[in-house]
Structure 1
């Protein structure tokens, strides 16, 4: 008997993109999943779209926040109600390859590991591939301190073994959560692209310094590293972040 995978999807005013995200879950070759979509007080037709899918697919579950809790709050609502052995994440402007769950669960089971991640493609709003992000075969906690090695849309972990991990309402909430996951287990990577991440044009240009501050704050305030260690690991993050964005202009990223 196959294990249930709970897929966590926060939704907010995403009527233009959520259909593709949901369809990429429905089209998974691995069929034992539940999709928990928490609407975070949308004002467009997002809720109607989710409810229409729910009528057709019993594995899709519609949840609703009564006030805007932000992306971490929406994910946490879904995580609270998740009943699966495994927990995975997908946002409403991103999509999965059909074999995403099948390949990652196979790798975890064959290698006796409790978390997994994969390569993924960064695309723009037209679907044009900007770059392919190549991951390491094995990612440890120390690897994760140096840079964000696990994109949230590719990550999956065994909640039956590790417990559930809720996200904090801070910048880079997914990075902080995966640090806590990797404090308990290494993650095994699939080195083919199993997901597509849509790059928001509003986030590309203006928020690099804000993102850097979020990262440093996590190292100091959440991981509680001594200042000299936080600076050491932050230097790795800063270098790889700048390198990633510059190489994106010229082709794929190879790690």
Structure 2
């Protein structure tokens, strides 16, 4: 019997995108899942959008007060019943075989933690030609160097890892989560594009270098309780490996065209 997948989706004022995200879950060829949406006091019509989906596998919960993405993910993880934990933000999209192929990859190889490639789309769901990949294996040390997995691509085995709860930091809370998971097992890459990351005007990748430095420092100092010198050192390491990721693992048009051809061949 197929094992249950718990899909963690925090939401905040993404009513114009969340329907596409939910539809991408409903379209999965692997059908034994629960989608746990924790809404962080949205002021738009997110709740109405979710109510339009008549599927008992969708669980919608609202925070009593605005608490941030970390708290929302923590709450969803406490509610999760699945063996497998997967993550999808409320403006991103999965390809139909994402769950099926990733679970098959993990079961076949005995992996407990994995991620995949993804491509970027804009606010109108148009691809911009960027494909992001990463190292084939990320150890605990490798994860300290940089946050290699895209949140929308990650899956781990909750029976092996256990319950993960992280500090309530505004940014990099997904990185804090992978650092916890990597304490127990390495992370492995399924070298296929199975997700689409929506690059919006307010996304972290569009912020200044000083903001990125601040958020990495706060991760190490506040979420991981490192000393001031160690936090600065790890922040510097993150910046160096971030530049390496852009140079080695962010691919553009030629790779994107290859992926489009692969998708056509599958159809």
TM-score with structure 2 setting the length: 0.85
SS at match of 2:29: coil
- Shift in CA distance, 130/124, structure 1 to aligned 2, threshold 3 Å: farther
Q: Deviations over 1:131-163 (max 9, x none)?
A: 111122211111111111111111111111111
Deviation at 1:129, TM superposition (A): 2.3
Match of 1:142 in 2: 141
Q: Deviations over 1:86-119 (max 9, x none)?
A: 1111111101111111111111111111111011
- Shift in CA distance, 246/150, structure 1 to aligned 2, threshold 3 Å: closer
Unmatched segments (≥5 aa) in structure 2? 256-267
Give the Cα–Cα distance (whole angstroms) in 1 for the partners of residues 142 and 74 of structure 2. 26
- Shift in CA distance, 96/133, structure 1 to aligned 2, threshold 3 Å: same
Unmatched segments (≥5 aa) in structure 1? none
> What's the Cα RMSD here?
2.5
Match of 2:259 in 1: none
Match of 1:186 in 2: 186
Match of 1:36 in 2: 36
SS at match of 1:101: helix
SS at match of 2:52: helix
- Shift in CA distance, 142/208, structure 1 to aligned 2, threshold 3 Å: same
Give the Cα–Cα distance (whole angstroms) in 1 for the partners of residues 33 and 250 of structure 2. 37
Give the Cα–Cα distance (whole angstroms) in 1 for the partners of residues 136 and 163 of structure 2. 24
Match of 1:216 in 2: 217
- Shift in CA distance, 250/10, structure 1 to aligned 2, threshold 3 Å: closer
Give the Cα–Cα distance (whole angstroms) in 2 for the partners of residues 211 and 178 of structure 1. 18
TM-score with structure 1 setting the length: 0.89
Q: What pairs up with 1:67-146 in 2 under 5 angstroms? A: 67-126=65-124, 127-146=126-145
Equivalent residues, number: 252
